Structure 1
Amino acid sequence: MTASKRFFAITLASTSLALAACVGSPGPVGNVAVPEPAKPVALPAYLGTWYEYGRYEAPFQKGCEGVTAQYSLRETSGDAKIRVINSCYKDGLDGEFDQSTGKAKVVDGSDGAKLKVSFFGPFYGDYWVLDRGEPNEDGEYPWSIVGEPSGRYLWMLTRESRPSAELRGALEARVRELGYDWSLVRFTQQPAP
């Protein structure tokens, strides 16, 4: 191994360890065969505010309640990049408010259903919209199910802070159809509308 290859390997290993220390270890694999996204995603219908209905617990979200995600076009970007603002209350709805701002970009050739998202500088993670509802009267998707290739992360998002029993049942059925272990789902507390 040449000196430059050794340096690169050491740098890569150090970066990986530093990231693991920042965000913790990922949870168990809840889906060993994550499917490709089921439908194309039109960016205008995906933008706006989402409420997290449930998720697989992730170290970077530990104890988060009242979770929302807001997607908008970045004002300074000419290449259709997206601003992502994730918010939550730590350890309960009356806990400390926490917010992170990141950026996302649509993966070429994915029909808009795959994004690369970054909250940590140059590091981007996969964000796949595995399925979503048909646009409502406001032109927005009413729900989405988001995952990534490892099967360790899963999010169910809705436009309402407290989805109806019918939508909750439909989300559970669809998550199971997609091959996810429903027993790993952690439901998110949301404030009353």
Structure 2
Amino acid sequence: MKRVILSLCLAAMVCAAPALAAAPQPTSKIDISKMGGRWYEIARFYNHRQKDCFAAAADWVRTGDGFSVTNTCRQGAVTGPVKTVKASAKVVDPATNAKVKMTFMGLIAQEYWILDRAPDQSWFILATPGGNFIWLFAREAQMSAAAKSAAVARIKQLGYDTGKLQFTPH
């Protein structure tokens, strides 16, 4: 019970945090049929919920009206104990499929925007609408230097301070 209360308090603090800058609108239509499967977190801005989180990944499984998303990471080290957080995700902008609302523990809802993606959808940039948080996800745990450079350059073009990116060890 303490864990649930702590999670709810942390989520409330994150949602109540003032926006650093508004996120830009998504630029690409997302082929929602290609969102399923495993996505590896390559980089992110710091956030309390992912403190000491290594080898982070998200598994998207198609459900009737959206996705079931299981986020996992290893606590403290790449070989540390596994931490799992489950969510449901629904597209809230069917014109682009780039805006999704995730609900955690059936109680906490947060909208996320897929700001851009690789032409082959091998990576995507995810952010909160307020611009506070951003993530880079890819199909492989290790991106090629060229792909990583292109994705980070795109994050910078979108107006984010890439110096704040924390790269996720796998």
Higher strand share: 2
When normalised by structure 1's length, the TM-score is 0.78
Mapped pair 1:185 → 2:165: yes
- Please name the residue that 1:7 is paired with: none
When normalised by structure 2's length, the TM-score is 0.88
- Please name the residue that 1:55 is paired with: 44
SS, match of residue 160 in structure 2 = coil
Which protein shows a greater Rg? 1
**Residues 1:88 and 1:111: Cα distance change in structure 2 (over 3 Å):** same
Higher mean displacement: 46-55 or 18-27: 18-27
Mapped pair 1:112 → 2:112: no
Identity of aligned residues (%): 30
How much does 1:46 deviate?
Answer: 1.5
- Please name the residue that 1:134 is paired with: 119
RMSD: 2.0
- Please name the residue that 2:55 is paired with: 66
Gap regions ≥5 residues in structure 1:
1-16, 136-140
Q: 1:43 aligns with which of 15, 32, 35?
A: 32
Matches within 5 A, 1:25-174: 25-26=13-14, 32-74=21-63, 77=64, 80-135=65-120, 141-174=121-154
**Residues 1:120 and 1:93: Cα distance change in structure 2 (over 3 Å):** same
